[in-house]
Every structure is written in structure tokens, then in C-alpha cells.
Chains A and B, each alone.
Chain A
Amino acid sequence: MQKVRFTAVFALVGLLVLTLGLGAMAKGFPDKPITYIIPFDPGGQSDLEARRQQPILENLLGVPVVITYKPGGGGSVGWAELAATKPTGYVISGNNIPHIILQPMQRGNAGYKTEDLEPVAMFQTTPIGLAVLKSSPFQTLDDLVNYAHDNPGVITIAGSGTYSGHHFAYLQLQKLTGTSMTYIPFTGAAPQVTAFLGGHTTAILANSNDLVQHKDRIRVLGFGSAERFAGLPDVPTFKELGYNMTPSIDRGVCVPMGTPADVVATLADAFLHIANDPKIQQQMVEQGFVPAALGPKEFKDYIAEKTIEYAELVRELDMK
């Protein structure tokens, strides 16, 4: 009896060791720390999102996740570095749309190509909206468009960067409304919003989180999401208003091209697990972000779709 029990326990332990061992072998990735490149300065939105994910990722993946900053060139320096690393999945990077589409298109050699970056998961979008100050005479987008028709070039729109999401939202708006306005580029959200709130420009094209942040002082005339956004329920989308555009800045993560599919899947699972967490989604909405949860395949398709859209706009811009 005693012996039987001992054998049973022995067998059980043996089985356990075997399963665990096999499990570990099948798991394989990750078994050492993962480097998470943020291609921007500390304190930016990409950084804060990564900081929100970091503890949860470490929990899910069971390895430390180290956030490293490689800022410069609007992100290109970080992406060039990622593209040059070995595709093992141990180095990942924030992935921002449209940056990774537009930089290689415009600069000739940005240090990387869009295809060099293998999309893993997209977890957040910040639709771009058009807003004026509360004191502005323009009550609706139509008011502004009509004025722009009668006074070409007079309306000034503050945006962040050239060849950026904001810049192309402006080009799209001009094209779809058949108007001409003046785009004033700034080097980031803080100077852009300051100039707009100070009344130095007529309107602003800004990310959804900035619009939500300043909603008491501004009137959002049109918003870039496909459907109305829970954070700004009274604001019509551009589509509702008859302009077929959904400009947005999207955030996700990527790895170098050639990373094994199962590694990509493991990473994607972890990021999507976080992206689908209702508590995190609610936090995002409160801060003015639209939660998203695209896996590797959907994210890739999304990038392809946006690439076509931007390529056309770039062609038109170059012809001018």
C-alpha cells in the first residue's frame, strides 16, 4: 500500500516535470528580457502608453520588459534601428501610423522601409478632429467651409508637423471641400495647442485626446472617427457631414521583418489581452483615445489600406 502510494506520487511528479518541461520547450519565447523601443522622447503619448502596458506585459510574458528611448527624426531613428536588429522578437518598437508610411515615402531614405517593420498589434487610435475656439463665429463645419470658399487662404489651421497625420488631414479637407486654407505647422502638441488657444490661428487639427483635454474652451466641428466617439458624443464625424475622411494617428507595436510567426503571435496575444481589458479601454476613452485591438493580420491590412490612401495624396501634393 505504502509502496503503491509512493509510486503514484512519483509518477505524478514525473508527469508534472515532463509537462512543465515540454511546456517550457514549446513556449521557448520569451526566455529573456524584451526591449521595447519608444522612437520618441520620454513623456510623449507613445511613452505613456508603453508605461501603462509595461507592468502588465511583464506579468503576461513572464520576462522583464525594458523601455528604451530612441528619439529623433519624428521616429525614423528608432525604426531604422529596429529594422537593423535580428528578427527574434526580443526587440520590439512602438509603431505609429501614418509616420511609418509617410517617412519612407517622402524622405527617399528614412533609414527603413515600411515593409521592414512587421506589424504585431494595434491598440489605440487617436482620430484627428477640427476645432475652433468657443468664441469663434463658426458654429458648424459648413460655416467654416463657406467662409473658406469666399476667402481663399485666410483661414489658418494649426497642426503638428509637415508630412504628418495633421498635414494630410488638412490636405484631405481642402480637397474634399474644394477650398484653400493655410496650414501652420508646429513641432508638437504643446506649442500647437498653445498657439490655437491663444487665438493665433483660426482653427486646429488636433488629436482626439487634446480635443477632449480642452473641450471646455473649444468647439469641435468635425471628428475623424468612422462612428461617433463616446468621449465627444455631440460631435459629428466628417463622414456624417459628407466628407469621406477618417484621419487618425494610430499606435501599435512592431518587430523586424522576418520574425517567426509564433513569436509574433505570442507578442500579439499579450498586447491584445491588454487592449481588450475593459478597465484599460475605459481609461483610454476618458483620456480621449479610441481603444483598438487589431492582431497582426488586421493591422497589416490596415497599414496597406492607409498606404494606398496616403500614396494618392502624396502624388497630388507632388504635382503642385
Chain B
Amino acid sequence: MIQNFLFAVSQIFAPGNFLLLVLGGVGGIIVGCLPGLTATMALALLVPFTFTMPAESGLIMLGGLYVGAMFGDAIPATLINTPGTPSAIATTFDGYPLAKRGLAQHALIANAFSSLFGGIVGTIVLLTISPLLAELGLKFGPPEYFWMAIFGLTIIGTLASDSILKGLTAGGLGLLLSTVGISPIAGDVRFTFGVPSLQAGIDLMVALIGFFCIPQVLEMVEAGVKKYKVIDYRPQKGVVSRVIKQLITKPVLMIRSSLLGVLIGIIPGAGGNIASLVSYNEAVRWSKHPEEFGKGNIEGIAATESANCSVVQGSLIPMLTLGIPGSPAAAVILGALLLHGMRPGSELYTTFGSITYTFIISFFVAVIVMFLFTALGSRLFAKMVSVPLQHLAPMVAFLSIIGSFAIRNSILDVGMMLLFGITGYVLHKLGFQSGPLVLGMIMGPFAEQGLVQSLLMGRARGSVMAMMFSRPLTLVLVFLCGISIAWPIVMAWRKKANLKSESSQTLPQPDDLRGQ
């Protein structure tokens, strides 16, 4: 172990490898910044280049890229209200309001520091207890996926701050959109209206660009050059240390968010998008001032970004220990491992121990380097806000089109993106929000597959009810769903009670919600 550790450090800081790490990381930041370009795509592009490299060099570069993308995606989320990847959806909720108030740099520093924090927690977990967690992850079967999706949908309660009814409507619309294409279970063709290309379904990223970018552009244009009110970013001194101090005094928030990211990352299919939304939701729930979220609260960014960065290491846990990729990006890295003749599982920690530990430990270095880059660059990035509207709006529109095309090289996707954009604009005007809608799109497939698979399994074993309600993990999840639904009601009731009598007794706090 010590030997492996020393070898790892000597490898990572070998000049060639360190350069690859930085190159990978910077490439990742750029890819993360551009909506439509995903880490997975960039990783796949890199794989042939890693053939000719020693395995550890290739892995260091791939790891750097993966981490870099998680740092980068918050930048457009903050500056132009458009998540660079689905993992940064929740970053827009508080990042953009901050940027509008002229505090873009604060938001970016919060992003950099939280990502660093999440990355370090994730790497420590990956280094120490991954075999244990991988076994735990296997306990997650179809009924658990179903209940996880339901729990995820309860987040609508947090996102729909104005009207629960509108939130539920938007969520329902998102669920419906997720059904377009080939049905995951029966293989039927659904809602394609005779267009074979629609069999591909609606890509989440296409919807994200449509529902976030385009309404943003239209609202900019509508407000006009003069009235579009963004307070210009003015460089301030000591922002870095102030933001970091503010976050360090919230250890519970930071650690909870990071651990949520790791745990959700382990579950195959559930990635940074779910982790960051769940983590955001918990941050709101446990905050003493939930009403401040969504208006530019730095804690919202911290919760999101630390979770979506630790997802990276979480998704590698089942990949390295069992050979099951926890995310599409992890699948590409798995492919690279296999092409280098390394089979995940125990071999990876024994025969190839030195390479594996080099890969894992390189994450420590990668997150620190990326932190320095994004923190030092934050001033530069923050100036984006001051780009004049007549330049900014067309630029965002242009990137939206390029991005939506790049995802699947499909013109139809561009058309759909524009359609969603206009729909999104109208919906915004009517008071509906994009958050619950994309949440529905994310959770829909999990809910559908989990439910039908559980029904099939339950029928085979004689009892559907037992399948849905009697497994230990499902019970925990059902319990969490119950709490999550009851929470806003209890809070409202408590507020009322508080108003009536100052001496109202406090409600017993439910047990730790972080256990799932």
C-alpha cells in the first residue's frame, strides 16, 4: 500500500503525466462549459490516444478530463443560466441570481471550492471503503429504483416555490416527454407520430438547452438593451478567502452533499443530475432559512457542486471493484482499462495495484489543479456577465444550436430544442418553471422501468406487494418519500402554530435523512 502510494505520487508528478493531467483537466473544463458537449463524448475521443501511452498516463489524463468537466459545467450555469451538463441544473437556481446581483465571482469561487471539497471526499471514499460500498450498491434493485424516482419527484415540492399545482403540472409534462421513443420495457414505439427519428426519444440535454437557454435569450431580448438588468461584475478583493470561509463554517452541508454524491454515483444510471438535485433539495430542507434558496444563496451552489463532483468517484466505485460502470463516462474509462488488458475486480487492486492507485490518487491532484484554474480564472469568467447584450444574446443562441446538434449529430434535435425553447418561454410567462419539468424527464424512465420490472418480479415470486414494500431498502426509501412529501405540510403547519402561540413546542426532528 505504502509502496503503491509512493509509486503513484512519483507517477503523477512525472512531468509528462502531470502535463497530461492538466491538459485533460483544461479540456474537461472547456467541454463542461459548452452545453451539448459531454464528458463521455470527450473521453471516448481520447481513448485511441491512450492506446499508445502507458496505462497510468492514459488513466491520469482520462481522470483529469472527467473531473474537469464537473468543474466546468457550473460556469455557464452561473453566467448565462444554462447548465453545461445535466449535473449543473441545480447550479442555475442560485448561481444565476448571484451573477445578476453582480456576484458572479462569488458563485464561481463557491463552485470551485465545493467541487474541490466534493472531489476530495469522493476520492477518500474511493480509496478506503469502495469494495464495501459496491456490495451495498448491488442491493439496489428495481423496486429501489422506483422508490428513488418517487423520492426524486418529491423534490418538486422544493423547486415549485410559488405554486405546487404548477410545479406538479410541469413535472407531469416532463414525465410525459420522457415516454417518447421506444419504450424501455416492452419495446413499443410511443409518440413518434410516424417519424422514425423520434424513436430515439428526447435527449435530456436537448430539452435542457431548449428549456433553459432559449427562454433566457428571449427574455434578454425582450427586456431590451437598456432594461436588461444585470449588475456589472466589479472585481472585489478577498472574494476567494471570504467565500471559502463562509463555506468552511458549514461542514455538515459540505460533507452531507459530498456523501450524497458518492452514494448516488454508485447506482448505475443515476448520475450527477440526480445527485445534485437531491443534494440541493436536502440543503433547502435542512436550512434554517429555506426561503433564501433560489434567490442567490451560496449554500445552494455548494450543495450542488460538491455532490456532482463526488459523483465522479462514486461512479468509479462499482466500475473498479466489480466492473460495472456507475455512469456512461465510467463506461468509457472501463473500456480503456479493458483495452489495456486490465480486468476490473480484485486483480485491479493486486496485480495492477500500482496503476489503480495511481489513477485514484491522481484525483486528489486533479481536483486541486482544477480548483486553482477555476478559482484564478473566476475573475476572467465573471467578466462574461458584462458582455454587452447585443453580443451575448446571439452568442448564446448560436451555442444553443451548435450544442443541441452536437449531442447526437441530429438536425431533428435542433428543431426540438427550438420548439422546447419557445414552449419554455411561454411556460415561464405563465409562471411554470423549467426545474420541475426536467426533473420529471430525468425521473420518468427510472420510475417506469423500476415499476414494471418490480411488477414482473413480484408476479414471478407470488407477491407484488411484498416486492414493492417489504424489502429493507425499499422500506427506507418509502419512509423517506413519506417524510419528503409531509415536510412542506408540516413546516407550513408549524409556521402557523408558531404564529398563534410563541411558546409552541418544537416538533421532533425526523432521523437522519442522509442514510439512503
Contacts and interface: CB of A to CB of B under 8 A. Distances in A.
B322 A77 contact: no
Contact of A41 (B142, B196, B328): B328
Interface in A124-172: 153-156, 161-164, 167
Contacts of A184: 142, 453, 456-457
B318 interface: yes
Interface string B327-366: 0110110110011010111100000000000000000000
Given A48-B335, A48-B339, A70-B408, 6 more contacts: A107-B189, A184-B456, A187-B445, A191-B269, A213-B344, A286-B341
A195 interface: yes
Contact of A43 (B44, B344, B345): B44
B40 A111 contact: no
B346 A216 contact: yes
27 contacts: A42-B332, A43-B43, A43-B332, A47-B44, A48-B47, A52-B51, A55-B51, A69-B409, A73-B201, A77-B408, A106-B187, A107-B189, A107-B199, A109-B196, A110-B196, A111-B199, A164-B187, A182-B459, A185-B185, A190-B269, A190-B331, A194-B140, A200-B141, A200-B457, A201-B457, A213-B344, A286-B341
A81 to B, nearest CB: 8
Contacts of B197: 72, 77, 80, 111
B48 A72 contact: no
A76 interface: yes
Chain A contact residues: over half helix, strand or loop, or mixed?
A: mixed
A201 B456 CA distance: 11
Given A195-B142, A200-B142, A201-B457, A42 B410 contact: no
Interface of B: 40-41, 43-44, 47-48, 51, 137-142, 181-182, 184-187, 189, 194, 196-197, 199-201, 268-269, 318, 322-326, 328-329, 331-332, 334-335, 338-339, 341, 343-346, 408-410, 445, 449, 453, 456-457, 459-462
Contacts of A200: 141-142, 457
Given A47-B44, A156-B457, A194-B138, A214 B409 contact: no
A103 B254 CA distance: 48
A205 to B, nearest CB: 15
Contacts of A283: 339, 341
A156 B456 contact: yes
A274 B197 CA distance: 33
B268 A187 contact: no
Closest 9 CB pairs of A and B: A72-B200, A111-B196, A73-B199, A162-B187, A198-B138, A42-B44, A200-B141, A43-B332, A43-B331
Contacts of A156: 456-457, 460-461
A179 interface: no
A71 interface: yes
Contacts of B185: 162, 185
Given A43-B43, A195-B141, A72 B408 contact: yes
Q: Which applies to chain B's interface (DSSP): helix, strand, loop or mixed?
A: helix
Contacts of B456: 156, 182-184
Nearest to A213: B323
A197 interface: yes
A27 interface: no
| Most chain B CB within a 10 A radius of its CB, from A48, A55, A161 | A48
A71 B201 CA distance: 10
A41 B43 CA distance: 12
A51 B48 contact: yes
B45 to A, nearest CB: 8
A174 interface: no
A243 B194 CA distance: 40
Nearest to A35: B409
A111 B343 CA distance: 38
Contacts of B329: 43
B345 A216 contact: yes
Contacts of A108: 189
> Which of B51, B196, B331, B449 counts the most A-chain CB atoms under 10 A from its CB?
B196
B338 A287 contact: yes
